Structure 1
Amino acid sequence: MKPNNWAAKAPNKSTKSSDLLFQVTENTELMVFLIAKMPHKSRVNIKTILRDKQVLVDGRATTQFNHPLIPGQEVTIKTLKAYQEKPYKGLSIIFEDQHLIVINKDEGMLSISTDKEKELTAYSILSNHVKKTNPSNRIFVVHRLDRETSGLMMYAKSEKVQKLLQESWHATKERIYLAVTEGKLPQSDGTVESYLVESKAFIVYSSQNPNNGQKAITHYQTLKSNNNYSLVKVTLETGRKNQVRVHMQDLGHPVIGDAKYGSKVNPIKRLGLHAWVLTFVHPVTKESLHFETPIPKKFTGLF
């Protein structure tokens, strides 16, 4: 096995604790260095980080992927949120290219407009964002998150890419949520499978009748628990409306703050659901993209 010639260093006083700081110990190029230090990121991800001036060599932002490195230099990788030039209220853009946008949405932010709210939505904010480059630019909805659910979402920049993403949505590599549920689950892990049906009152419920509703499969694993709550990793095999919320209710341990599906407590004043990890194949470049967001502090504070 080839030894790792690039040693990580402790951040200095001018570097945020969330930044990554490395010392170069051999001659190489910047892209080669970054690929070695961030194997979980694709070349597209790394090029975006370079483009957004999040990579500093000896304290100076560097955007050229073939920038030469020599022993003794320091490379700092800034956090995406810390280096975002124009943050938007209610969301942060964590990846963008000419085909799509991936965001981290706050709880309380609508994915798209409704009859009651048309202005302050992720869709409207991103529409204005892309029009700054070209007034004719547009964005297109790929999927949705409930208003009170935070986390990862993506939008397409053309109808063609929207269609490609929606057609391959069932084949998305990873869609992982974090849920805080009431009480301690009797089994630390397992799978819930049912057919989901939506009533005229817009409430989704489970059925075991294959002729009634859409098949939904949810895998879950308890990460932390105490007498009152459980922090549960939820992996979706299918992506149905309110799937996680309904299946946690089916287990008898609804998501906290989810009165619609049986919760009687709301200790963090929000729905205890967060879209944590999203991994998919880029519909145009065919590269595998992986995104992971921080666990909300309100979740961890309960444990």
Structure 2
Amino acid sequence: KPDIAMHESHNHRCDALSNAVAFHLMKEGKECVFRSVGRLDKGTSGIVVCALNKFSAAKLSGKIYKEYLAVAGGEFYGDGVIDKPIIRPDPMKTLRDVGMGGERAVTHWKSLKVKDGCTLLRIHLETGRTHQIRVHFKSLGAPLVGDDMYGSTDKRLSHQALHCCFVRFTHPVTEKIMEFTAP
């Protein structure tokens, strides 16, 4: 997925992944229903798993392991865990924050490279909250490069530096382990 919206909305009538998948399925003569299993924020690139039927979508729900690459605006060395609950301060807005009484959110990270005050990180989530990686790194004072929603002033990218680079799941029918990478 490039850095486009997952679903059509009033702001994204034509440039949504759901439209592209439906068009592809229609060309293949298949049912044109977009069933993403999990999602990626607008502006996040990488692998999205889609199911061809309700059975597969239900069987895969919550059972996909993902890894991400991100560039945080700060220096991180080694590896670590961020365990901070995430709240939605205003139910009318998409913005999230960390705070008491929120949903449990755990992010595991490993530093791959530090350069020019930024760190390339490999990340996997123990939980999957909306904007979790973005909120957690903002809470450390190191928002992702390009993520103006969560405080980045670094304009080298027009979207957050976040990419789903690896997924693994058990195929819902064959039970074969499926792994995919997107460098």
Scaled by the length of structure 1, what TM-score is found? 0.57
Q: Tell me which residue corresponds to 2:8.
A: 113
Q: How many residue pairs align between the two structures?
A: 181
Separation in structure 2 between the aligned mates of residue 284 and residue 198 of structure 1, nearest angstrom: 37
Matches within 5 A, 1:255-274: 255-274=144-163
Q: Tell me which residue corresponds to 2:98.
A: 206
8 Å Cα contact 1:131/1:138 also seen in 2 = no
Q: Residue 148 in 1 paired to residue 43 in 2?
A: yes
- Match of 1:214, SS state, is coil
Matches within 5 A, 1:1-303: 105-107=1-3, 109-134=4-29, 136-166=31-61, 169=62, 171-172=63-64, 174-185=65-76, 187-200=77-90, 201-207=93-99, 209=100, 212-294=101-183
How much identity, in percent, do the aligned residues show? 29
Of 283-292 and 126-135, deviating more is: 126-135
Separation in structure 2 between the aligned mates of residue 132 and residue 115 of structure 1, nearest angstrom: 25
Separation in structure 2 between the aligned mates of residue 156 and residue 135 of structure 1, nearest angstrom: 12
Instruction: Give structure 1 regions of 4+ aligned residues with deviation exceeding 6 angstroms.
Output: none
Separation in structure 1 between the aligned mates of residue 155 and residue 146 of structure 2, nearest angstrom: 4
- Match of 1:276, SS state, is strand
RMSD: 1.6
Separation in structure 2 between the aligned mates of residue 164 and residue 114 of structure 1, nearest angstrom: 27
Separation in structure 1 between the aligned mates of residue 105 and residue 79 of structure 2, nearest angstrom: 17
Separation in structure 1 between the aligned mates of residue 52 and residue 34 of structure 2, nearest angstrom: 4
Which letter does structure 2 place at the counterpart of 1:190?
G
In our comparison, the structure showing a higher alpha carbon Rg is 1
8 Å Cα contact 2:23/2:32 also seen in 1 = no
8 Å Cα contact 2:73/2:143 also seen in 1 = yes
Q: Any unmatched runs of 5+ in structure 1?
A: 1-104, 295-303
In the TM superposition, residue 194 of structure 1 has moved relative to its aligned partner by 1.6
Q: Any unmatched runs of 5+ in structure 2?
A: none
Which letter does structure 2 place at the counterpart of 1:144?
R
8 Å Cα contact 2:36/2:48 also seen in 1 = no
In the TM superposition, residue 289 of structure 1 has moved relative to its aligned partner by 0.7
In the TM superposition, residue 137 of structure 1 has moved relative to its aligned partner by 4.2
